[in-house]
Structure 1
């Protein structure tokens, strides 16, 4: 019986061509790492390269012709996004989708989560799956790393500042946008203006929107002679981060007369904390956001914010990506000018004079 069974299995067996997954398992590395060795991608150590190449030889692995770049276009592109909870990300994605639909391309939305390692794994997977091009929303990493990605597939960087000759970019003038908010609040007589910033663990990239916006806030405060009143809360641009920031503000013996949250989602969190504490907005504290997501315009909320045309930014990124896929080689770097949208959460305060006995607001950068 055993012999008959063995003979049947031998007769019906088919030699399976080894895949990159088999190579990775044999070498004891991730599929993404094995793929990077195969493509001679940036950041592969000599040890890793030798290990993976030894496994390729041992298994008799040969990449398919399609994997060596001989296949045609898939007419599919991807957008890598870290934060799907932020409604502004949805605006960007929708703008890309509309442009792709207009030019009959399919769009794959790839949620990468937080952190550079997760982002890099997602990009590697998308390249391996034959995307014709990729849009990266506020990606982490150096210019050199992004330029290496661009040698493998066309990419457009959306939201991150800084021009490159190897890839296209689309960003709002976040510095000018932050200036607009501070100028508006100062024009209403506010002097104690707290800024809610976003802290990304493991990075301090000066080209990310959060870093540019906080510089815009500081610049405007100094320009108005309020350098001693600079007050930055390091938090997270999320509902939870905004709520915690609001509670921190409420715990202070001297509260600001205005709060500028670096994005609308955080502004909603701040408003929630203040409303639950019975603070009247804007009579006691004015609140402003940044992004102009749809919910800020709803009548019961009506948040003052900065409009950076998310749909247009996404549409521009989609158009530039498809142009790259179509053969354009020269880099295009686009900066979108923002505008201030004044609504009901900001107004002149009734008690604007700083008490000389208590002094100005502290010049701090507290983390909440």
Structure 2
């Protein structure tokens, strides 16, 4: 809780529910002999008081020394880089990592996260989850949570429950547009990513906003162009076909994410465009494939291993009893390779 507000204790829960502290302890430990009515009563009081057990209280039911990692898209190799950082910290701190992948969709995400909670993991790292901040807040009241990719919660929320680690996506989009403008480009398009449950704190929303701000700052409002799609290989292929079919094409593309940028790269080459002579392409993430010599994708490095490590460190400190939230922005860095050049004359 913020400021001088006192954190609810097990005694507060017992008093609110009209039961003994021993009864609350049994519910916390899921001990044998607790009636469904008692469990519901105590859990209702926990929710009303915004109670979350400290590490010491959680120890009563035993620590599993397991960190759960939730993600949706295994095809995005940047997520593998994040997991590498999480795993390194987990091994250093005596934890194991279990990875769960959900299908696309909010309901599938909820089911998987609930299953991970039910399996008594000590905390969860959520990589680019869907849904509103309020839903993350509710989850984080029951288990320590660290979120990668999402930016800090909006101001109206109580932000004392989950932590976030994200690239500074406003700055990342800015350095992409600045680089392309310095080369002489004006017609710069942005490859977007759209989900049914997009939120302002999601990276696709923040990067798109950063692109708009940077284009406006350079006086290029008339060339702002959001190409609809998804940040995956297939989404990049579809976006590439859409751009290739245009009569007036952009001279440069902010690809949103490396996997999408590489998909667009493939289609545009097949359509007869020369990269970068006819069109420049910039990715975002700096996945290992981006550096392969036949590609040499100019991209933004957002220090994936460091982001994973930071998220895991925050999660472990939550498990150990920290209550003050932390929202970390990782400075991005432009990596210039072979897919950007001045526009055609």
For normalisation by structure 2, the TM-score amounts to: 0.81
Contact kept in structure 2, 1:288 and 1:346, CA below 8 Å: yes
| Whole-angstrom CA distance in 1 between matches of 2:46 and 2:182 | 50
Aligned to 1:57: none
Aligned to 2:276: 282
Query: Relative to 1, partners in 2 of residues 1:40 and 1:139: Cα closer, same or farther, differing over 3 Å?
Result: farther
1:141 Cα deviation after fit: 2.3
| Whole-angstrom CA distance in 2 between matches of 1:106 and 1:113 | 23
Equivalent of residue 118 in structure 1, options 102, 105, 108 = 108
Aligned to 1:309: 303
1:41 Cα deviation after fit: 10
Aligned to 2:248: 254
Equivalent of residue 207 in structure 1, options 190, 197, 201 = 201
Query: Relative to 1, partners in 2 of residues 1:38 and 1:210: Cα closer, same or farther, differing over 3 Å?
Result: farther
Query: Relative to 1, partners in 2 of residues 1:131 and 1:41: Cα closer, same or farther, differing over 3 Å?
Result: farther
| Whole-angstrom CA distance in 2 between matches of 1:235 and 1:256 | 16
Give the 3-state SS of the residue equivalent to 1:235 in structure 2. coil
Aligned to 1:95: 85
Tell me how many residue pairs correspond in the alignment. 293
| Whole-angstrom CA distance in 2 between matches of 1:37 and 1:277 | 64
- Please list the CA deviations of residues 192-228 of structure 1 after superposition, one character each: whole Å capped at 9, or x if unmatched: 1111000112x23111000000001111111111101
Give the 3-state SS of the residue equivalent to 2:254 in structure 1. strand
Aligned to 2:330: 336
Contact kept in structure 2, 1:79 and 1:135, CA below 8 Å: yes
Aligned to 1:191: 186
| Whole-angstrom CA distance in 2 between matches of 1:205 and 1:42 | 28
Give the 3-state SS of the residue equivalent to 2:125 in structure 1. strand
Query: Relative to 1, partners in 2 of residues 1:41 and 1:307: Cα closer, same or farther, differing over 3 Å?
Result: farther
1:113 Cα deviation after fit: 2.0
Give the 3-state SS of the residue equivalent to 2:87 in structure 1. helix
| Whole-angstrom CA distance in 2 between matches of 1:38 and 1:69 | 19
5+ residue gaps, structure 1, are 1-19, 21-34, 44-67, 352-368
2:132 is the counterpart of 1:142: yes
Equivalent of residue 228 in structure 2, options 234, 258, 262 = 234
1:252 Cα deviation after fit: 0.9
2:259 is the counterpart of 1:269: no
| Whole-angstrom CA distance in 1 between matches of 2:228 and 2:45 | 36
Give the 3-state SS of the residue equivalent to 1:198 in structure 2. coil
| Whole-angstrom CA distance in 1 between matches of 2:119 and 2:141 | 16
| Whole-angstrom CA distance in 2 between matches of 1:42 and 1:290 | 42
Aligned to 2:122: 132
Q: Which moved more, 1:232-241 or 1:139-148?
A: 139-148
1:278 Cα deviation after fit: 2.1
Equivalent of residue 319 in structure 2, options 318, 322, 325 = 325
1:92 Cα deviation after fit: 0.8
- Please list the CA deviations of residues 122-157 of structure 1 after superposition, one character each: whole Å capped at 9, or x if unmatched: 111111110000011122222322122112111111
Contact kept in structure 2, 1:175 and 1:212, CA below 8 Å: yes
Contact kept in structure 2, 1:81 and 1:110, CA below 8 Å: yes
1:253 Cα deviation after fit: 0.9
| Whole-angstrom CA distance in 2 between matches of 1:128 and 1:223 | 49
| Whole-angstrom CA distance in 1 between matches of 2:167 and 2:40 | 33
| Whole-angstrom CA distance in 1 between matches of 2:121 and 2:208 | 35
For normalisation by structure 1, the TM-score amounts to: 0.76
Query: Relative to 1, partners in 2 of residues 1:261 and 1:41: Cα closer, same or farther, differing over 3 Å?
Result: farther
1:166 Cα deviation after fit: 1.1
5+ residue gaps, structure 2, are 1-29, 31-38, 48-57, 154-158
Q: Please, what is the CA RMSD of the aligned residues?
A: 2.1
| Whole-angstrom CA distance in 2 between matches of 1:349 and 1:185 | 9
